[in-house]
Amino acid sequence: MALSVSPPSLSFTQNFPHFVTSHSLPLSQCHPISFQTPPPKSIHYHPPRALREWQEYEEAVKKKDLATALSFLISIEKDNSDDSVEENGSLSTQSARSRIGDLGFFGGSVRDWEVLDTCLNADDMRLVGMAYEFLKAKGFLPNFGRFSSIVLDGSRDVTPSVLKSSTGLEASKFSPKKWGLSGSSSVVLAGFLGGVSYLLQQGIDIRPQLAIILGLAFTDSLFLGGTCLAQISSYWPPYRRRVLVHEAGHLLVAYLMGCPIRGVILDPIVAMQMGIQGQAGTQFWDENMNNEMAEGQLSGSTFDRYCMVLFAGTAAEALVYGDAEGGENDENLFRSISVLLQPPLSVAQMSNQARWSVLQSYNLLKWHRHAHRAAFKAMENGASLSVIIRKIEEAMSSNR
């Protein structure tokens, strides 16, 4: 399928900065005790400098400087691969680092994960992809992209009856709902209207205050996309848990499909400041889609993968709660891309593609429900992205 789209305006960095290290010399051999002991040779590895380098890495993580943090890890990995145990009993850099690590100064295998926490502020998504590939190459992310080319067999014609027979849920259960028309929000709205009616019957006229509240809500919806209402709602535990379930679905499917995750935004105000549509969002990147769109082409497999990630939040809600309330912005984004295809998808084709995608995501999440629950718990505890990914990997490995 061809896609008419102009090349992205963002220019990617061509030169990747590498952390520069100086060459060091092997430790000297032991010398007999003498009043005129010859001066020792240069020390092969100097712990204070190493500590200083790791402190610079930690500073880069705090500043969310992905380029600096990643280049340091790459340089350390390169040094480790180049070093070897030298002759005459001298220590190599690898063994020196290992010993210092035993003292608790390093723990590089743990700190390597922290590079993921720097991805949120990265402008160059290629660096984000490099961070995931670096950790995968080191064996930390064995499940990243594990299902990138796995699609369920069967017809692509997913009718509402097929969707129901596969999930046990009506197709309408996968459609986003307007606030106040379904779920717990309808109970809140009914309680609010009942309270207003009771006050009016008691002779307490709150219509002026109510008019102001409705006016502010309309302004928030029109100019801020409902950010203020979402910020207030985020303090309501049932609503917040549903948002976490939704975003954990996006994150897990994107991860298993091999799409690097830049970050998860759960604060509506922060999401608005970052230009994210909706009240929360999971930012992921698909290199194949980025390259194909730049060329004005979009393959079916790339489009399918993107749609699966896009509808994963809806699928997660349906899996956990039996229906979905969120996902309106996901549907809008899906429609905006579908009409760009040449020829554009018809309404019937878009509906079928949406049902097919949500079914694929639903089954993938059902098979790895334990990993979704682990991601949800980590997000609920306010964990960073690196901890969330680590919890997913731990859950996946423990259920093989």
- The label of the residue with tokens 């980590």 reads 378
Query: Is 96 contained in some domain?
Result: no
| 367 and 264 in a common domain | yes
Q: Is residue 319 domain-shared with residue 383, that is, in the same domain?
A: yes
97 assigned to some structural domain:
no
Give tens-digit pLDDT for 83-101.
544 444 444 444 434 433 3
Angle formed by the axes of helices 328-338 and 347-367, nearest 10°: 130
User: 220 and 245, same structural domain?
Assistant: no
Task: Please tell me which of 88-97, 120-129, 227-236 the model is most confident about, judged by mean pLDDT.
Answer: 120-129
In a domain, 208, yes or no: yes
283: β partners: 263
In a domain, 376, yes or no: yes
pLDDT class of 196 with cuts at 50, 70, 90: low
Say yes or no: 293 and 369 in one domain. Answer: yes
Check whether residue 197 and residue 59 sit in a common domain: no
Cα first-last separation, the chain: 37
- Residue 281 domain boundaries: 160-173+236-398
Total number of domains constituting the chain: 3
- Give the residue with greater pLDDT, 80 vs 90: 80
Burial 122-136 (b: 16+ CB within 10 A, else e): beebebbbbbbebbe
Three-class SS state of 302:
helix
Query: Is the pLDDT reported for residue 235 higher than 90?
Result: no
* pLDDT over 60 at 40, yes or no: no
Residues 121 and 209 in one domain: no
- Residue 2 domain flag: no
Please count the residues of the chain.
400
| pLDDT tens digits, 236-262 | 788 889 999 999 999 999 999 999 999
| Residue 202 and residue 304 in one domain | no
Average pLDDT over residues 67-84: 78
**Which runs of consecutive H residues, i.e. helices, occur in the chain?**
47-62, 66-82, 93-102, 108-111, 125-137, 160-167, 183-201, 207-223, 227-233, 237-256, 268-273, 287-294, 300-310, 312-321, 328-338, 347-367, 369-380, 385-398
pLDDT at 226 (0 to 100): 58
59/125 same-domain check: yes
**Do 254 and 203 sit in the same domain of this protein?**
no
Who wins on pLDDT, 374 or 81? 374
Most confident segment among 23-27, 60-64, 199-203, 280-284 = 60-64
Quick one: 190 and 255 in the same domain?
Answer: no
Indicate if the pLDDT at residue 320 is higher than 60.
yes
Cβ neighbours for 57, distance < 8 A, ≥ 6 positions apart: 68, 69, 72, 73, 111
Backbone Cα Rg of the chain: 27
Assess whether 250 and 339 both reside in one domain: yes
CB 341 within 8 A of CB 2: yes
Packing angle between helix 312-321 and helix 300-310, nearest 10 degrees? 40
Indicate whether 211 and 282 sit together in one domain.
no
Instruction: Tell me the pLDDT tens digit for each residue of 254-294.
Output: 999 999 999 998 876 666 656 665 566 899 999 989 899 88
Q: What pLDDT is attached to residue 163? A: 95
